[in-house]
């Protein structure tokens, strides 16, 4: 299988990546090359094979319902490039 440029645009939109024409050209070729690489999988018979959900087939352990965190807002927000009064800021969202 291979993808066309419309599909590449769609993938770029879904993954929120702005690509210029040169990048698109290269990535388009790369993606199709990679899809070629993984093509052989379709020849493997996987009837009745359970997909792996965890490499060790482990199951989930549960945590007790306890509050263990305290307010560290100022410290945590040091990594944000834009915040005000304890709030993170983003360009205006229109619903």
Interface size with other proteins, residues (CB under 8 A): 73
Q: Does 56 bind other proteins (CB under 8 A)?
A: yes
* Whole-Å CA distances, 59 to 30, 49, 53, 54, 62: 37, 19, 10, 8, 10
Q: Does 85 bind other proteins (CB under 8 A)?
A: yes
**d(C-alpha 25, C-alpha 5), whole Å:** 9
CB of 45 to other proteins, least distance (A): 9
Q: Does 6 bind other proteins (CB under 8 A)?
A: no
Indicate which single residue of 4, 5, 25, 73 sits in contact with other proteins (rule: CB under 8 A).
73
Q: Cβ(9)–Cβ(31) under 8 Å?
A: no
Q: Does 88 bind other proteins (CB under 8 A)?
A: yes
């Amino acid at each position: 299988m291979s993808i066309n440029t419309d599909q590449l645009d769609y993938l770029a939109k879904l993954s929120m990546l702005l690509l210029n024409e040169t990048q698109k050209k290269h990535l388009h070729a790369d993606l199709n090359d990679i899809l070629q690489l993984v093509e052989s999988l379709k020849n493997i018979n996987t009837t009745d094979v359970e997909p792996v959900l965890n490499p060790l087939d482990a199951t989930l352990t549960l945590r007790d319902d306890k509050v263990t965190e305290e307010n560290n807002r100022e410290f945590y927000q040091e990594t944000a490039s834009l915040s005000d009064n304890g709030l993170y800021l983003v360009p205006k969202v229109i619903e």
